[in-house]
Structure 1
């Protein structure tokens, strides 16, 4: 499994952002190998972390090449003050579990 952590410093969102964001989420969900996502908001800094769960790098590459995702990557300065993406391979995961909040999200 692979985790893609998208950390962002939000700027101003407009209607076009929300339309594109919804289209990108729909594109991710349509890809075989997309396992879900979780979002966290830091109340102190206003940073947002979105962690996407992927079954394979092939699925992640397919998502990265999607036209809506490509368009959003070109226009990030319109909506974010800063961002970073980290791709991590999960080698092991363990713990007591979180029931319906288990990762990857169901």
Structure 2
């Protein structure tokens, strides 16, 4: 499994951002290898972390080359003050107490 952490310092969102963002999310959700996402907001700043769960690197690569996703990457300065993407391969996972909440979201 792979985690893609999208760290953003949001700027101003407009209607075009929301349309493009919804289209990109729909593409992700259509992939059998997409497992969901979780979002966190830093209470002391505007920073947001979104963690996406993917089953394979191939599916992640295909998602990254989607035309709407490519367009959004080219236009990021219109909507974000800063961003960072980190792709992590999970090699092990353990813990206790989260129950079903510890699993990737469906």
Normalised to the residue count of structure 1, the TM-score between the two structures is 0.95
**Alpha-carbon distance, 1:92 to partner:** 0.6
Partner residue of 1:93? 93
Partner residue of 1:33? 33
* Residue pairs, 1:1-106, within 5 angstroms: 1-106=1-106
Q: 1:2 to 1:16 in 2, by over 3 A?
A: same
How many Å separate the matches in 1 of 2:97 and 2:69? 32
- The residue matched to 1:85 in structure 2 has which SS? strand
Q: How many residues are treated as equivalent by the alignment?
A: 106
- The residue matched to 2:12 in structure 1 has which SS? coil
How many Å separate the matches in 2 of 1:56 and 1:97? 27
How many Å separate the matches in 1 of 2:100 and 2:91? 22
Unaligned 5+ segments in structure 1 are none
Q: CA RMSD in A?
A: 1.0
Moved over 3 A (4+): none
Unaligned 5+ segments in structure 2 are none
Normalised to the residue count of structure 2, the TM-score between the two structures is 0.95
